[in-house]
Amino acid sequence: MKINLLKPDVKFGETFILFSYQSNAVQTTGRSSKKSTASQVLLNHPEAETHLATFVEKKAITGRALEVVTFRGLGFEGAENIAVIGLGKESELNHELFRKAAACALDALKSLQSDEGSVWFENVIENQDQAPKFIQAFTEGLQLASYEFDELKSKKSEAKEKSFHLVTKYASDADVKKSFQHGVILSETVNFSRRLGDMPGNLMTPTILAQEAQKAARGISQLKVTVWDKARIKKERMGGLLGVSTGSTQEPRFIIMEYKGGPKSQKPLCYVGKGLTFDCGGISIKPSAAMEEMKYDMCGGANVIGTMLAIAKLKLKVNVIGLIPSTENLAGPSATKPGDVHTARNGKTFEVNNTDAEGRLILSDALSYATELKPQMIVDAATLTGAMVISLGNLYTGYFTRNNEMKLKIEGAAEESGELVWHMPLHDEHVKDMKGTYADLSNISSGKGAGSSTAAAFLEQFVGEGIPWAHFDIAGTGWAVGGRLNYCSKKGASGVMIRTFVEIAKSFE
């Protein structure tokens, strides 16, 4: 997809795209000249508004949020077609709405079988302050909505590349240009991570995942990728990662991505992602229904790779390290058995009472290693528990932190990114539930319920005292977010939290 910024003094492309909205302007009605606040449907281009007045009168255009009305061959100032995208109440405009409106604009172009659209932003961006945010959101929405995963089909889609011109008088403002570029980079990296997630287990093994990270980082300045193989993982005493990997013939990998954008002396930010390229549950095998979805069990890792790429491409002035422990969880003859005890890198021992609770085991080593790096903070992302899907479904990502400053940063970052997050409980009682009988810890809770909190409590045992840490359980939001977001495919990986993680990094600049 090609997207560019243009000033309003240009000729429109093949399809002219404008917005309708409901204004709450005070109107004077009737002879009594009483004032009413009935909403009025407005279009953001005066001549187009006159041109389409009958459609507004007939209520074919209502201004409802995300309404798409298309006119083929109607003609307007050189454009062949017109598409009107509804924005809802004028007073409720926000950047997330522009992401969704962008997906509508792409839909409109598709249904008009048109390849070029000019989107008219005059009169909806009220002031210069809104312009960067709205333009960035629209750009992200367009690119995220255009993502398709068809590389494994023998017949690829033959559709021509679409091109969009975003028309605004602020087109040459430095901060608008910068935000536009941010939108491009963010959505490209999100789409990159979505592809990693969508690839099936046989084509996205730990070895391939590591190679993809290396390939993608090539040529990006200040970004270095190091990959540890099985021998090195053993040498580094990563008993959790190693223990999970023994059930498979695929070798595990430990991926380290380092970005140096800040002063040498500045402590790094650490992102950790679960890179389980296929989880059959191991000896505690999962039921076969929907087991194929467990190719997505590396989405935490994929999204941390995406976060690192985005941070480096955006040249943020921070030092950041991304850690991705990666393995398969299979049930081969050497697989970890229920009751087996392994030792994590920080010396803590754990009984594996359910081999399907493997994410926390591979993360234990990564969090221990992150702790050794003395970071300013550690944030991890993992498709960790089915319990999270039950608690929050596919709308909100649940996060756990006992650090109030982290909580504030996360809430602020999510506000900026438009992604929905929910703070979940983590209590000393949850920690008690994870005590082992024969080893320090058990990998499953001795208590009932709260499976996501007890999993978080397990992870906490590997984070150094005093290091601000937050854990994001993306089991419900990592893929198949359904019809929740029109710019994200119903099935398939979502790339969730990359945008929020980048915002978190920005808050440390």
Q: Which residues are catalytic?
A: 286, 360
Is 349 in contact with 436 (CB distance < 8 Å)?
yes
Length of the chain: 509
In 3-state terms, what secondary structure has residue 237? Answer: coil
Q: Which does 436 bind (CB under 5 to 8 A by kind): Zn ion, ligand BES, none?
A: none
269 binds, among Zn ion, ligand BES, none (CB under 5 to 8 A by kind): none
Of residues 261 and 398, the one with the C-beta less far from Zn ion: 398
Does residue 419 sit in helix, strand or coil?
coil
C-alpha–C-alpha distance, residues 472 and 378, integer Å: 11
Stretch of 176-184, 263-271, 277-285, 309-317 contacting Zn ion, by CB under 5 A: 277-285
Which residues does 202 contact at the CB level (< 8 Å), separation at least 6?
A: none
Cβ-based nearer residue to ligand BES, 216 or 387: 387
User: For Zn ion, which is the closer residue by CB, 268 or 398?
Assistant: 398
Least distance to ligand BES from the beta carbon of 476, Å? 7
Which structure tokens are listed for 47? 């001549």
Alpha helices (H) in 146-269, listed in sequence order:
174-198, 206-217, 230-235, 239-245
Q: How far apart are CA 294 and CA 276, in angstroms?
A: 9
Place of tokens 């979805």: 293
Provide the minimum distance between the beta carbon of 284 and ligand BES in the complex, in angstroms, as a whole number. Answer: 7
Q: Which of 183, 197, 359, 476 binds Zn ion (CB under 5 A)?
A: 359
CB-wise, 110 or 427, nearer to ligand BES?
427
Q: By CB under 5 A, how many residues form the interface with Zn ion?
A: 6
Q: CB burial class (10 A; 0-12, 13-18, 19+) of residue 154?
A: exposed
State the minimum distance, in angstroms, from the CB of residue 67 to ligand BES.
34
Taking CB within 5 to 8 Å according to partner kind, which of Zn ion, ligand BES, none is near residue 444? ligand BES
Minimum distance from CB of 473 to ligand BES (Å)?
A: 8
Residue 52: name its binding partner from ligand BES, Zn ion, none (Cβ under 5 to 8 Å by kind). Answer: none
CB nearer Zn ion, residue 451 or residue 468: 451
CA distance 179 to 181: 5
Work out how close the CB of 295 gets to ligand BES at its nearest, in angstroms, rounded to a whole number: 11
Using the minimum distance from each CB to Zn ion, give the nearer residue, 194 or 360. Answer: 360
Report the partner that residue 426 touches, choosing among Zn ion, ligand BES, none (CB closer than 5 to 8 A by kind).
none
Residues within window 288-327 making contact with Zn ion, judged by CB under 5 A: 297
Take residue 69 and report the two structure tokens written for it: 């009305």
CA distance 210 to 232: 14
Stretch that binds Zn ion, among 32-40, 65-73, 77-85, 271-279 (CB under 5 A): 271-279
Least distance to ligand BES from the beta carbon of 491, Å?
Answer: 14
Beta-carbon contacts of residue 388 (< 8 Å; ≥ 6 apart): 398, 451, 452, 473, 475, 476
d(CA 247, CA 240): 13
Decide if residue 275 touches Zn ion (CB under 5 A).
Answer: no
Residue 146 partner contact from Zn ion, ligand BES, none using kind-dependent CB cut-offs of 5 to 8 Å: none
- Spell out a b/e string for 226-250, using b for 16 or more CB atoms within 10 Å of the CB, else e: ebbebeebeebbbbbbbbbbbbbeb
Question: Rounded to the nearest whole angstrom, what is the least distance from the CB of residue 329 to Zn ion in the complex?
Answer: 6
Given Zn ion, ligand BES, none, residue 117, with its beta carbon under 5 to 8 Å by kind, binds none
CA distances from 216 to 181, 191, 219, 308 (A): 19, 13, 8, 10
Report in angstroms how near the CB of residue 359 gets to Zn ion at its nearest: 4
**Chosen from ligand BES, Zn ion, none, partner binding at 300 (C-beta under 5 to 8 Å by type):** none
Q: Where are the beta strands (DSSP E) in 410-455?
A: 421-423, 441-442
Sole window of 104-112, 278-286, 418-426, 484-492 interacting with Zn ion (rule: CB under 5 A): 278-286
Q: Closer to Zn ion by CB, 239 or 281: give it.
A: 281
Which C-beta is closer to ligand BES: that of 335 or that of 387? 387
Interface residue list for ligand BES (CB under 6 A): 279, 297, 354, 356-359, 383-387, 389, 444, 451, 475
Find which of Zn ion, ligand BES, none residue 196 binds, CB within 5 to 8 Å per kind: none
Q: Work out which of 356, 365, 419, 473 binds Zn ion, going by CB under 5 A.
A: 356
Report the residue number, 417 or 452, with the smaller CB distance to ligand BES. 452
- The rounded Cα 176 to chain-centroid distance in angstroms is 23
Query: What does the block give as tokens for 375?
Result: 């970071």
CB 193 within 8 A of CB 285: no
* Angle subtended at Cα 222 by Cα 219 and Cα 228, rounded to the nearest 5 degrees: 85
Output the DSSP codes for 260-301: E-S-TTSPPEEEEE-EEEEE--TTSPPPSTTGGGGGGGGHHH
Which among 307, 211, 338, 283 has a CA at the least distance from the CA of 502? 307
What residue ranges bind Zn ion (CB under 5 A)? 276, 279, 297, 356, 358-359
